Structure 1
Amino acid sequence: MRKRSVLLALLLLAGCGMAEPTRPATTAPGPKRVFRHRTPPAQDLIGMRLVSAQRDWPGPRLPVAPPPRTIDCSRLKCVALTFDDGPGEETGRLLDILAAHHARATFFVLGRMVDQDETTRGYVRRMVSEGHEIGNHSWSHPALTGLSAGGVREELDRTQQVVMEVAGVRMRIMRPPYGATGQGVEKVTRDAGLAQILWTLDTFDWRDRNADTVAKRAAQAKPGDIVLLHDIHATTIEAVPRILAELDRKGYTYVTVSELLGDVTPGKQYVKR
């Protein structure tokens, strides 16, 4: 009799750990939670589509450029700051300065520099995501006038390809190294769909490695000018904050080359607006 009592007590104790029975269907439901739908901004939608399209992409995710700006350079004092020969060791610092100033620029890149390592490839993706423009400056910086038509085409095509692979961008503008151009270069660039962008104001930063001198020259820009600089020189990067401060004082708006010029004709040369 005592054994049966102990067994019954153990069974009752085990039953205390069992889950509660399902509540009857007649139980009144609790308060309903309301979820408000938020329509993502346009930039989010662009990013969502890009991420979806790249889901199976084996390499790095391509950048999403900000929406195009509407800037009327016929009414505003616009200037296009352009940087050649990079990306290089100083390019990241330059991008930081431009970002802090909300200033956009145009980078004429060398294909071999883009393809140098993951750091330089990252700079190109950052240029796109921060609203800068990228232009073709050839693969290895030769004087294009000394090359055959096939040689010019190879220099440009290799750079077009690497920028497309790295950042998903097809460049529409190019700058001939040393500004050396002619009928042969014009024909190849026209066939390639690239307008030739030269410059109005040369700061000679490649020759005079002095930040004060470079800043003073760049600050002489006039509305509609295209200013030539190089992002591979530390002294140039040191000059940029001073350039921006002086042009700010004069009421300038910093635009990309395409924002300054609007639609451009492949093969044609441009030096200013």
Structure 2
Amino acid sequence: MMLALYIYRRYVALCGILMTFVLYAMLLTAYHMATPRFVLDPEMNGIKHASSFSLRKVSDMLAGRKYAVLTFDDGPYGHGLDEQILATLQKHHAHAVFFLVCSHINNDTRGELAKFESAGDVIGNHTYDHPNLAQLSQPDIRNQIESCNQRIADVTGKRPNYFRPPFGSTTPAITTVVKSLGMQQVLWNANSEDSWVKQPEQMMYFSLTQTEDQSILLMHETPLTAAVLDDMLTQLEQRGFQFVLPDQLSDNTAIN
């Protein structure tokens, strides 16, 4: 009886050591693998893994790694603000999607688009002059989106693939127009609330509490956001976050 108990305990200990080794090997291996690919998840207004299963997904779960997409609306801003945001992103080896209001693209700000591209960020369409599209006719919706596409293409040579409706206000008619233009509509499931909050700690609170794994985080190009961004990304990284871009549908995009 004692011998059987001894053998059983040795067997359990050996299995534990073997399992620990396997888990450690999985974690170590994943650190040398490419960042997983993500696609948009319209149902959750977030992102999801492009593949259904992978060693990296298991390793991420064990290591507590999380992923989020950073987005900035209403640029280009100019006055050095775009550069400040880009410098902070580069400091954190992060990329973002910049949804531009095309009436903001003028002789003073058009150079910002090249900076977004050079940094490896994505340029998206946020309409020509930021109306609530739900209040417009379908031809006017198309004109708002297509006019912005053309403006971006005039500056960069490429039409954007992503579209975000102002105020997140969308309808079946808007979705139909977006799809007919070969674009993807991008909403969000985490909100920094920087369009209305006035204090840095308020934006920090909303950003940190709402951002979860596979979130799309809504921000705006504002001085407050630029001031808070470094500390916010640092705290998200301490929680295991990495900042990624979703796959795009075609090569005719602002930047990939």
TM-score by length of structure 2 reads 0.70
- From 197, 200, 219, give the equivalent of 1:229: 219
Alignment of 1:125-204 (within 5 A): 125-204=114-193
Q: Name the SS for the 1:85 alignment partner.
A: strand
Q: Name the SS for the 1:165 alignment partner.
A: helix
Q: Is the 8 A contact 1:218 1:243 kept in 2?
A: yes
Q: Is the 8 A contact 2:161 2:249 kept in 1?
A: no
Could you say which structure has the greater relative contact order, defined with CA pairs below 8 angstroms and 6 or more residues apart? 2
Larger helix percent: 2
Q: Does 1:71 align with 2:62?
A: no
Distance 2:234 2:91 in 1: 12
Q: Is the 8 A contact 1:83 1:106 kept in 2?
A: yes
Distance 2:91 2:107 in 1: 26
TM-score by length of structure 1 reads 0.66
Distance 2:118 2:157 in 1: 11
Report the alpha carbon displacement of residue 216 of structure 1 after superposing the two structures with TM.
Answer: 2.2
Q: Is the 8 A contact 1:216 1:243 kept in 2?
A: no
Distance 2:95 2:204 in 1: 17
Report the alpha carbon displacement of residue 145 of structure 1 after superposing the two structures with TM.
Answer: 1.0
Larger strand percent: 2
Closer/same/farther in 2, CA of residues 72 and 191 from structure 1, 3 Å limit: closer
Report the alpha carbon displacement of residue 137 of structure 1 after superposing the two structures with TM.
Answer: 0.4
Question: Percent same amino acid at aligned positions?
Answer: 29
Alignment match, 1:110: 101
| Higher CA-based Rg | 1
Alignment of 1:62-101 (within 5 A): 71-72=36-37, 74=49, 75=57, 76=60, 77-89=66-78, 90-101=81-92
Letter in 1 for 2:208: A
Runs of 4+ in 1 over 2 A off after TM superposition: 69-76
Closer/same/farther in 2, CA of residues 127 and 213 from structure 1, 3 Å limit: same
Letter in 1 for 2:215: D
Two-structure CA RMSD over aligned residues (Å): 1.8
Alignment match, 2:53: none
Q: Is the 8 A contact 1:209 1:236 kept in 2?
A: no
Distance 2:74 2:68 in 1: 20
